[in-house]
Structure 1
Amino acid sequence: MLGYLNDLQERFFTWCDNAVQDHIDREGTILKKWRPSKNPDGSYDLVFELAAHDESASKFTMPVPEEFHELLESEYFINHPPGPRRRDLVLIINKNKKI
């Protein structure tokens, strides 16, 4: 079972899960990788790659709602600064959800 430290984290990861699920258009599609990306204007995008079977991954970008920007600043970029040893957040997809 996955636990969250607070309600905002839970809402953020639920939003991420739903954003990715909305782009999965067929059975067998898998999430290859994902990351938040900060834009020059201070906004954030969720960048993720999906692939089906042995096909090349397709890249998608979605704007992250403003309510999560402070969370990303404090939890992600402060605790996981960019660099060669950067660690990415892990997104767990609910595989029981019907697509």
Structure 2
Amino acid sequence: MRTLTGDLTVSYAVRGKTTVATVGGTVDDEGRRLLTEGLEAALGLRGRGPIVVDVSAVLVLEPATMLCIAAVAREAAKAGRDVSVRI
């Protein structure tokens, strides 16, 4: 598990062909930047296969957080990878 800022955490796991990034805690302004960096790191764990971003443990899910995830999803799509979000 990697703590990004305050109580924001992102943990990574490869399950079969799927990379799972589990996000927990609070995503504030600084946290969104660091969340994007953390999800980009998750892209690097495996060069292929789908990515699941699990935000079910995020205390407050603001629209700006979803924009960060969408930006990473666009980057993943360029590599032919699907990204889904578990709420």
TM-score normalised according to structure 1 size: 0.30
Structure with higher helix content: 2
TM-score normalised according to structure 2 size: 0.33
Structure with higher strand content: 2
Larger Rg: 1 or 2?
1
